[in-house]
Each structure stands twice: as C-alpha cells, then as structure tokens.
C-alpha cells in the first residue's frame, strides 16, 4: 500500500478548497506535486487538472485571469530556481489586481539550502513584495498548516500567497492531518456613521458634484446610479471601472488619463466637489488640485495617497452609498450635468468618432476602426483581454460593456504580453464562452510560445492581433516628451502564417474592406483562431485633454524628425493623428 505524501496532502487541500487546475511547467523538484495531480484523476473525476503552458509567467497570468473572473482561488506552479522565478511578473499582476492566487514554488533539496546548490534561489524571500503571504515549508509536520494559512490569506486578502516547497519534503510521508477548509461569504465593511454624516453635509453644501468611480463599485452599481441621479452628478470612470460603470448609464462621461476619452477630465475639474468612489487611479496629474475632494474606499491605505483629500470614508462602496443616500438632498439644478453630458456627446462624435467614420477605406488599417468592428461582432457575453499599451486604449474607447461582457487587462501592473495568457486562463475557466485576446504584435511576440498552448489544448480563444510593427504607446510617450521615437520598431511579422503553422485557423487582413468578414470568420470558427490585422503604425492615442507642453513636445519631436531626414514619417504621422488634435481653444488650461 502506497504511503500518502506531503504532495498528496497538499493536492487534497487544494481539492477541498475548490481548485480544479494548476497552471505550470513540470520539473524535477516539482515532480511529487505533478504526480499527485496525475493520481487525483483530473477535475472530471473530482481531482485536479494540470495545464501545461510554455512559460511560467503565462501560468501566473492565466491563474490571475481565472481568479479575477471567477472570484475563486486559482493556482500556478514552478519548479526550483528559474522555474519559479518566471512566475514573478504574472504574480505581481495577480497581486495588484486583487486576484486570489496560490503559487507553489518548488525548491532545491532541503539539505542543500544555503550551499549555492545548482539552481538555488530563495523563493520565500523573492516573492515577498508581490504577495500577501509567503512561507517556506521545512517539515512534513509544518506543511498542512502553512498550506491552510496560504489558502486563507489568498482568499481572505484577495491576493497572492506563495508556498516554497523543497522537492524532498514534498515526497515525504505526511506528518499531521490538515485543518478543514471552511468557506465564508464576502463580508461588508460598514463605515463610521460620523464619517458618512460629514460627507453628506459636504455633498449638500456643494453646488455641483462629480463622481469618478473604479472597480471598487462592482457590487454597488444600483446605489451609484441612484446617487448620481439624486445629485445630478456626471460620472467618469477608470479603466478597471469601465465594465461596471459605463453601460446603461445616463450620467457617464467617459475616462480621463492617457487612455481616456470624452468629458471626464472637464467634468471632474469643473465641479465644486469630486467624489472618488472605489478607485485608486494613480495618475495624479489628471486629478484636480483645486477641487474639494472626498474619497470612499474599503482599503484605508488607499485614502488620500493619490490626491489631497478634504474628506474620507473608510467603507465598501455598497455599504457607504446605502448609508449616504438617505442623508443627501436632491439637487434640482441640472445645468452642470446637462452641460457636461453635452460636451461628452460632442467629444465622442467629433473626436473619438473621427477615428472610425472617415477611415473605412484607408490603408494601413486604422486600429480604431478595427476595434469598432470587433465590438459590433463580438458576443454579448464575450470576455476580452487586452495587452498593455495601445490595445488598452482601443479597448477603453471602442469596446462597449453591457453588464455581461468582462474585461481583463494588466491595468495596475502594466505588463506587456498579458493578453494571450490571460485569455488562456479565461477560456479554461469558461470553456463555452467567447474569449477574445486583443494582442499587440509586441505583446504577442514576447510570449509567442503560448500559441502552442492554445493549439495543444484546442482552446477556442480568438486572438485579434493589432499588428503595427511598433510599440505605439512608447512612441507616444517619446513624442510628447519631445523625443524622436527610437528603438520602438518591431520586425514586420506574418502572425497569421505562424498560427497556421501550428494548425490554428488564421486570417491576415490588410484591407479595411476585409475586416468584417475576416473577424466574423474567426469568431464563428469552432476552435482557436487568430486574426492578424495590419494597422497604421502612426495612429497614436492622444490624451483627452492636451496641454500646451504636450503639444510643444509633439511638435518638437516632429521637427527633429524632419531635420534628421524623417520627413515622410513626420508627414504620415500628421496625417494619421492631427485630424484629432483639438484646436488651441480646446486646450485645457489645467491640463
């Protein structure tokens, strides 16, 4: 009769916690865990599946997406040394996104720790900054409680927990029984009544109020809309708040920041009082410094760390708004709301709309037009994943939420190459749901090997590649700083041919007239599909409120290009972008 090992016990603890799969790459120090997974029989038999990716970074990204979408614990693993080191970037993304993820970092033999052994690192030290819990398992007796604590930390604190497990310890007989895993429902964080009363007094005293909301309002949408209606408050949102705030919202005025659009910037700068609700929007240069500001957040450490506050309420959005609503008076004057909504409509029609309407026959294809076609054709419950950079811009501006669609990005960590591995995790967790990866060619090429994972498992992920052969967001950053773009070019690559070589259905689209049929064919295909769209490398995201300094930098960089002989590039960039630069009278004096 086989003796139950520490690895068997850990896998049993994961099964009890509801885990169905582990993303990772096998390796010698990890073999006891992998073998225990094999013997569990797979998820269809009540056990755990092993999802074999090509790079451990992708394993962590996939687990991050699964955890964010399901709200449940997801698991990834890496073998000793280089194997688990590769997890770190995806784990940063998971931890900053509030995703409950457990990472198993296997380790060299315990008797060799501290001797500069082959592949020796110290995972229990390395992962401290990107986790809410990390611990080394030194004995079989210690293991069950450490694993239990890791599970509780990951779920309870919505973050990453890391267990470091030497391979020899994993293969030893169990030392003691494991504690039972007990599930609890999500709690509410009710604010102090005196803080809510102070906020209500400030709201009632303000002539005009604007709201800027983030992902923290996900459970408070009805209360949020009730508050906006009562106050006549225009409402902007962050990228992570988009899917919870934008749709069916008569008060929506878009986003601010480099990814932004619409009247959000003007709305939050022109109000007497700004309410920041469930957001940790990091770009203080886009937040007003001369507007009275209040913040509501369930995390006390986020209060006032982005901009100076006049009032703060520590509580979750739903509980706080429920307590606040009976205390605030309805504002009868709707002039500020109507003026801001009118400005938003004009900006959406004349500026954001300008990207898509006149470019239907222009080549190279304008990425904005491609994104708008994708939005029209995608299913009502599509899960979109977007690479950091210009794909985030097109997602923010042209993909519309509806309450059923989901949007996953590396919005806080800002990593390249996240979209495809995020999509893998999403598709594995939701096998019958449409999953679309909006990949930039720079991001896709960084973890290109994960196309093999998609092909291997025949995951029906739809990969839409915005192939402009450049790092577009970096190019923009250089230009607004007055620096000619340099080192941002990506080799022109036929990603459709690469996908076809792997047996993935593919289309390469170079003409805008082929966009609808090509994207539709991919979305309708029963299996993995890739659409390689050759887009304009000079189409850049321009900030929603352009300052004189930004225009000066853009013009300076263009001048330097001309002087250095790049006349053609400068002319093409002007043709692609300057149609959307607001006239000088539209510059915001406050940036």
| Per-residue pLDDT at 576 exceeds 50 | no
52 vs 30: CA distance, rounded Å? 13
> Where are the strands (E) in 447-559, listed by range?
462-467, 505-509, 529-534
The pTM score is 0.90
Per residue in 417-475, pLDDT (tens digit) is 999 999 999 999 999 999 999 999 999 999 999 999 999 999 999 999 999 888 777 77
Going 189 to 96 to 432 to 56, the CA torsion angle's sign is: negative
* Element spanning 559, H or E: helix 548-563
CB 73 within 8 A of CB 155: yes
Contact 486, 566 (CB under 8 A): no
From CA 247, how far away is CA 84, in angstroms rounded? Answer: 40
Please give the angle made by the CA atoms of 511, 517 and 519, to the nearest 5 degrees.
90
> How far apart are the C-alpha atoms of 438 and 531, rounded to whole Å?
10
For residue 341, give the nearest of 243, 456, 451, 252 by alpha carbon: 252
By the 10 Å C-beta count (0-12 exposed, 13-18 middle, 19+ buried), 206 is classed as: buried
154-177 burial, b at 16+ Cβ within 10 Å, e below that, comes to bbeebbbbbbbbbbbbbbbebeee
pLDDT at 565 over 70: no
Q: What pLDDT, on the 0 to 100 scale, is given for residue 137?
A: 98
Q: List, in order, residues 6 or more apart from 460 with CB less than 8 Å away.
A: 427, 431, 434, 435, 525, 526, 527, 528, 529
Could you tell me which residues come within 8 angstroms of residue 175 by beta carbon, excluding any fewer than 6 positions away?
A: 6, 139, 140, 141, 142, 143, 144
Mean pLDDT of the chain: 90
Q: Which residues contact 563 (CB under 8 A, 6 or more apart)?
A: none
Residue of 448, 438, 509, 443 lying closest to 474 (CA atoms): 443
According to the 3-state scheme, what is the secondary structure of 5-22? EHHHHHHHHHHHCCCCEE
DSSP state of 255: B
The 10s digit of each residue's pLDDT in 507-529 is 999 999 999 999 999 999 999 99
Report the range of poorest mean pLDDT among 257-261, 296-300, 556-560.
556-560
Confidence of residue 572 (pLDDT cuts 50, 70, 90): very low
Assess whether pLDDT exceeds 70 at residue 552: no
pLDDT at 488: 80
Mark out the alpha helices in 206-251 (DSSP H runs).
221-231, 242-245
- For residue range 294-353, what is the model confidence (pLDDT) as tens digits? 999 999 999 999 999 999 999 999 999 999 999 999 999 999 999 999 999 888 876 555
Predicted local distance difference test score (pLDDT) of residue 484: 79
Here the tokens at position 475 are 């190019």
* Edge-to-edge strand ranges of the sheet holding 133-136: 49-52, 21-24, 74-78, 101-107, 160-166, 133-136
pLDDT of residue 477 exceeding 80, the answer is no
């Amino acid at each position: 009769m086989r003796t139950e090992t520490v690895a068997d016990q850990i896998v049993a603890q994961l099964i009890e916690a509801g885990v169905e799969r582990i993303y990772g790459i096998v390796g010698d120090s990890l073999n006891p865990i992998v073998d225990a997974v094999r013997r569990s029989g797979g998820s269809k038999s009540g056990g755990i599946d092993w999802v074999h990716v090509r790079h451990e970074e992708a394993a962590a990204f996939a687990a991050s997406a699964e955890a964010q979408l399901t709200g449940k614990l997801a698991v990834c693993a890496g073998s000793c040394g280089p194997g688990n080191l590769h997890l770190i970037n995806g784990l940063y993304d998971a931890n900053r996104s509030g995703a409950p993820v457990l990472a198993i970092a296997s380790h060299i033999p315990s008797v060799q720790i501290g001797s500069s052994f082959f592949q020796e690192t110290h995972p229990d030290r390395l992962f401290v900054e990107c986790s809410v819990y990390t611990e080394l398992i030194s004995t079989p007796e210690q293991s069950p409680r450490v694993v239990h604590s890791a599970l509780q930390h990951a779920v309870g604190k919505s973050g990453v927990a890391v267990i470091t497990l030497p391979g020899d310890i994993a293969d030893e007989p169990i030392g003691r029984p494991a504690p039972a895993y007990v599930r609890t429902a999500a709690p509410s964080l009710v604010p102090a009544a005196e803080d809510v009363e102070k906020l209500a007094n400030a709201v009632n005293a303000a002539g005009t109020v604007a709201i800027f909301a983030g992902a923290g309002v996900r459970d408070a949408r009805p209360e949020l809309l009730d508050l906006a209606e009562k106050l006549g408050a225009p409402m902007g949102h962050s990228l992570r708040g988009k899917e919870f705030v934008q749709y069916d919202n008569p008060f929506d005025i878009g986003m601010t920041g480099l990814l932004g659009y619409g009247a959000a910037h003007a709305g939050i700068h022109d109000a007497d009082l700004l309410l920041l609700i469930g957001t940790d929007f990091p770009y203080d240069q886009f937040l007003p410094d001369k507007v009275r500001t209040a913040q509501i957040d369930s995390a006390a450490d986020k209060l006032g760390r982005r901009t100076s506050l006049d009032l703060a309420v520590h509580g979750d959005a739903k509980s706080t708004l429920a307590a606040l609503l009976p205390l605030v008076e309805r504002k009868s004057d709707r002039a500020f709301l109507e003026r801001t909504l009118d400005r938003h409509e004009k900006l959406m029609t004349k500026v954001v709309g300008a990207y898509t309407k006149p470019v239907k026959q222009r080549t190279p294809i304008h990425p904005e037009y491609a994104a708008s076609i994708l939005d029209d054709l995608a299913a009502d419950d599509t899960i979109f994943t977007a690479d950091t950079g210009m794909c985030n811009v097109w997602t923010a501006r042209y993909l519309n939420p509806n309450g059923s669609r989901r949007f996953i990005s590396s919005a806080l960590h800002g990593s390249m190459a996240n979209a495809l591995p995020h999509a893998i995790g999403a598709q594995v967790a939701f096998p019958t749901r449409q999953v679309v990866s909006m990949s930039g060619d720079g991001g896709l090429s960084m973890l290109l090997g994960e196309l093999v994972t998609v092909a291997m498992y025949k995951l029906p992920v739809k990969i839409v590649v915005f192939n402009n052969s450049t790092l577009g967001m970096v190019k923009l950053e250089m230009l607004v700083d007055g620096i000619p773009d340099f080192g941002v070019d990506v080799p022109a690559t036929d990603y459709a041919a690469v996908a076809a070589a792997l047996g993935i259905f593919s289309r390469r689209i170079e003409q805008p007239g082929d966009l609808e049929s090509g994207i539709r064919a991919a979305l309708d295909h029963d299996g993995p599909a890739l659409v390689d769209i050759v887009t304009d490398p000079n189409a850049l995201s321009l900030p929603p409120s352009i300052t004189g300094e930004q225009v000066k930098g853009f013009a300076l960089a263009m001048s330097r290009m001309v002087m250095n002989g790049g006349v053609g590039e400068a002319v093409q960039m002007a043709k692609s972008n300057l149609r959307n630069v607001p006239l000088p009278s539209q510059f915001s004096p406050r940036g």
